[in-house]
Structure 1
Amino acid sequence: MGKDYQRPSLDMPSNFTAPAAGTSPSSNTASFASNPAAGTADAAVVEYADSNSIADIPWRQFFPDTALVHLLETGLQYNNDLLIASRRLDIAEAQLKRAKWAQTPDLQLSVTGAINRPSDNSLNGLSAKSFLGKSYIENYNAMVGISWEADIWGKISRQQEAVRASYFATAEGRKAVQTRLIADIAEGYFNLLMLDAQLTITKKNLVLNEDFLQASRLLKTAGIVTELAVQQAVARRDATALLVPSLEQQVGLQENALSVLTGKLPGRINRTGKLRDEVFPELSTGLPASMVQRRPDVQAAEFQLAAANAKVGVARAAFYPALNITAGVGLETFTASNWFNIPASLFGLAAGSLTQPLLQRKTVVTNYTVAQLERETAVLEFRQSVLKAVGEVQDALVRTTKLKEQERFAQSQADTLRVAETNARQLFKSDMATYLEVLIAQENALQAELYLAIVQRSRLTAVVELYRALGGGWN
């Protein structure tokens, strides 16, 4: 009863796309100057038509950092959200096993013994005295009975189909929790590496600030600069020193957050890699149609839709009569001594019944209407999950492409400003640059290096998000 499940039509792109990477600042400027519209609607686009996908790479191979892999293994073993999802899967599996027995006959064994002392003035009392010669009636019964509902309208099979689909939806839901957990741990780890890098950068700059302060004091003693130059150098050093406890605080908070994610008490996180050394496999997305099969949350939504479709069949079958068949065989006697006197004590029965709802018909109609509406809702939820998944992949592609460009320019800027800072200090010691030029150069170099670490972290987390968005992380 009811239609078999078929996947609804989906509006899917043929390939994933992302804006093409630029070449150099000068070429981009020249292109925009000659054609301002080229920077908007006519921007070059790269299509990803490769059938392979980074999501097919097992997570242990995708992440090259051994310390990160250890963190991920710990999280998958102890994270409470994932353990809860696993218990829900165990419950769904038990429900599936129970549903498999729904079409099997129900076999029952019953043994009863009864004594009834009727009134002497009742018909039973007079009959007992007349036929049995005693004032009470005994009855002993042992029976094996069987009952079975014939699945003539497919109601039971549809119920089993709904439970089976719900089980697979729960299994995919657990995978979705795992992929999100892996992404969260990896992103937290890369954020920790960024904070480590920024702390190292800040401490190195603090040494340079101290060196400049000492040089300023020597030049003041020589009468070349004023006390103002020394005061500015002190302020610059203190401003850099202020970043150290702030970054150390952020490191501690990030370590605590990662510990909780891995199911452990807050504590120190071991890490061996450096931010600039983290390298991922070459990026490939595969086709959007394959992503639908890979994404656990999309698959969970589709299985929920299949379950809702099966429940429509169950509700439809309720309009028709249910056929129940019962049968039994056993031993019955009115004296215990003759209970097992075979074949005299043998008895048997067989019956069939058709049950058709009458007064509850409005309830049946309402249940069917609700089931249809729930199926329509599940269709919309499935389509929305696909749309969201495609959007997440596209967003991650844009971020990875453009952050790679940003990293290249940020690296160039940091290198240039570091050289400029070194030159400014040397010129200052030779009285060929002012203290303000040195302070500005130091501030610019520090901010450029700190920003470079942020961009490097952002690019790594964008790759992790792309991996998750494509459905990677559960295998």
Structure 2
Amino acid sequence: MTLYNNKYYTIGLSLLMVLVLHSCKLQKEYQAPAIEVPDAFRGQDSLHVATDSLDVAEIQWKAYFEDPYLISLIEQGLQYNFDIQKALKNIEINNLRAGQANMEWLPSVSATLGNVNYQYRSKDFYSTASSKYYNTQGKEAPENMYWYTMQNASSLNVSWEIDIWGKIKNQRDEVLAGYLQTKEAQKTIQTEIISKIAEGYYNLLLLNAQLEVAQSNYELTQNTLKIVDLQYQAGNTTALATQQTKSQMLVAKALIPNLKQQIGVQENALRLLIGQFPDEVKFGNAMLSTLIPKDTLTIGVPLELVRHRPDVVAAELELDAKNAVVGVTQAKRYPSLEINLSGGVNSMLPENWFNIPGALFGSVIGGLTQPVFSKKRLKTDFEVAKIEREQAEIDLQKTVYTAITEVSDALIVIKNVEEQLAIAEDQVQTTNLAIKQSNLLFNSGYATYLEVITTQKAALENELNLNRIKHAKLLSRVKLYKSLGGGWQ
């Protein structure tokens, strides 16, 4: 058999070996566990569903939050918020890694340019100078520091690992899952930022509404105090009446600086969310009472959370990544096939370095490497990877259950807030009527100052409570939108 035939016989045998090995399956195709979910959310009947309504999670945040001042704040937050900017940088990093992972299929190529290697030996070395010395100048070989070996080379080297067991593919899948996870993380952060901006905005509206109530009640009790003072000077009442009326006035007055302080702190917190320095937040004529919407929305079914909730999608991607790691660790236990090609020019003497074709060389090396004993490290890595995949399955199930629970919590809150709001509005109407009647009776001498300040105190508490419930209703809508996976569209 000729050398030519031997060469192609070797190549053909190598290709046949690759095909046989590649046809072997390490494991059956992995199937993610099916997670059972209920058909509907608990408390789902709390929404007034309209025939033309849309799924909350399908609505863009601009359509969901209709207030133009809030939309403006959210737009600034999406552009300048520091957490979002950092999340975008993480996406850039993982995008680069994903791009590099796609190149793992290709061979590695390296070039050696101008490699000069001279080794010197002396007489006590086992080889004599005369057997290694190149007499180019008619001189005798020295006994010390003579040339033992000389290499002057330039070469191109190609190394290619054949992906027999899918190790490179699984590594690529792991990196790709990580990249997609960062995109879902960015969506999660965006949803969180939108929710926080909306909550901060509604907090400001609440504080301003409470400030108006406190100022109004303060002015009302001031007028009552003037009347009681006049009665006291006329001898128609006691000093106790004046003191108690003034005490009630100071209750309302003390709320004013406290609320102003909270407004300033909330404005600073909101400005930080949108990536701005502390300053006043302007919201025009927007008031808490005008933003109470009528809920005509649908929320879909629990199974749709898999499509909308970024954290659920990220948990599923984490499971994909862990499954890819199982494939990688298993592949490392099996033989790896690597082909190395190299070629270039090589000579012992510099003057012959580029003597072509005399200095040309080339080599083809194919290696099949099987790990034999690695102190149980490879098997341990494989078993640990399988356990970590099981942990990822548990995390995915927990994430789905948590998402369904959060939606149910939001629906329960919405339902109960509606009932509380109706009661609170009746209370405010009742106390407002009581104030008018008590003032008329007090001015006519048919009611005491105690009855007047009691109704004023009740009015203050009821109006403050009504604003808090309106605020809770707005926050419940934010929580519902966030729990359904909205906020990033």
How high is the TM-score relative to the length of structure 1? 0.90
Quick one: structure 1 residues 341 and 289, their matched pair in 2 at CA, closer, same or farther if it must change by over 3 Å? Answer: same
Q: What SS is found at the alignment partner of 1:144?
A: strand
Which residue of structure 2 aligns with residue 299 of structure 1? 313
1:321-345 Cα offsets, whole Å, 9 max, x none, are 1111101111112233332222222
Which residue of structure 1 aligns with residue 290 of structure 2? 277
Q: Give 1:462's aligned amino acid.
A: S
Matched, 1:336 2:350: yes
Which residue of structure 1 aligns with residue 118 of structure 2? 115
1:216-256 Cα offsets, whole Å, 9 max, x none, are 22233444333322222111111111111111121122112
- 1-structure distance, mates of 2:340, 2:237: 109
Equivalent residues of 1:18, 1:47 under 8 A apart: no
Which residue of structure 1 aligns with residue 40 of structure 2? 15
- 2-structure distance, mates of 1:427, 1:57: 54
Offset of residue 91 of structure 1: 1.8
Matched, 1:225 2:237: yes
Matched, 1:76 2:78: yes
Moved more, 101-110 or 66-75: 66-75
Q: Give 2:99's aligned amino acid.
A: K
Q: What is the number of residues matched between the two proteins?
A: 452
Offset of residue 129 of structure 1: 4.4
Offset of residue 399 of structure 1: 0.7
Which residue of structure 2 aligns with residue 25 of structure 1? none
Equivalent residues of 1:19, 1:46 under 8 A apart: no
Offset of residue 373 of structure 1: 0.8
- Cα RMSD (Å): 2.3
Offset of residue 5 of structure 1: 4.6
- 2-structure distance, mates of 1:168, 1:393: 25
What does 1:72-471 correspond to in 2, within 5 Å? Answer: 72-111=74-113, 112-119=115-122, 123=127, 125-129=129-133, 135=141, 136=147, 138-272=150-284, 273-280=286-293, 282-360=296-374, 362-471=376-485
Which residue of structure 1 aligns with residue 487 of structure 2? 473
Q: Give 1:275's aligned amino acid.
A: L
1:125-180 Cα offsets, whole Å, 9 max, x none, are 21344776665464321111100111001111011111111111121112111111
Equivalent residues of 1:323, 1:352 under 8 A apart: yes
Quick one: structure 1 residues 18 and 130, their matched pair in 2 at CA, closer, same or farther if it must change by over 3 Å? Answer: closer
- 2-structure distance, mates of 1:461, 1:300: 26
- 1-structure distance, mates of 2:169, 2:162: 11
Quick one: structure 1 residues 129 and 180, their matched pair in 2 at CA, closer, same or farther if it must change by over 3 Å? Answer: closer
Equivalent residues of 1:67, 1:271 under 8 A apart: yes
Q: Give 1:77's aligned amino acid.
A: Q
- 2-structure distance, mates of 1:227, 1:341: 120
Q: What SS is found at the alignment partner of 2:341?
A: strand
Q: What SS is found at the alignment partner of 2:154?
A: strand
**Identical aligned pairs, as a percentage?**
38
Moved more, 125-134 or 148-157: 125-134
Quick one: structure 1 residues 381 and 372, their matched pair in 2 at CA, closer, same or farther if it must change by over 3 Å? Answer: same
Offset of residue 349 of structure 1: 0.1
Equivalent residues of 1:117, 1:125 under 8 A apart: no
Moved more, 126-135 or 181-190: 126-135
Unmatched tracts of structure 1, length 5 or more = 22-44
Q: Give 1:13's aligned amino acid.
A: P
- 2-structure distance, mates of 1:182, 1:243: 30
Equivalent residues of 1:51, 1:285 under 8 A apart: no
Moved more, 433-442 or 57-66: 57-66
Moved more, 294-303 or 12-21: 12-21
Equivalent residues of 1:220, 1:226 under 8 A apart: yes
What does 1:20-35 correspond to in 2, within 5 Å? Answer: none
Equivalent residues of 1:427, 1:433 under 8 A apart: yes
Moved more, 208-217 or 463-472: 208-217
Moved more, 321-330 or 115-124: 115-124
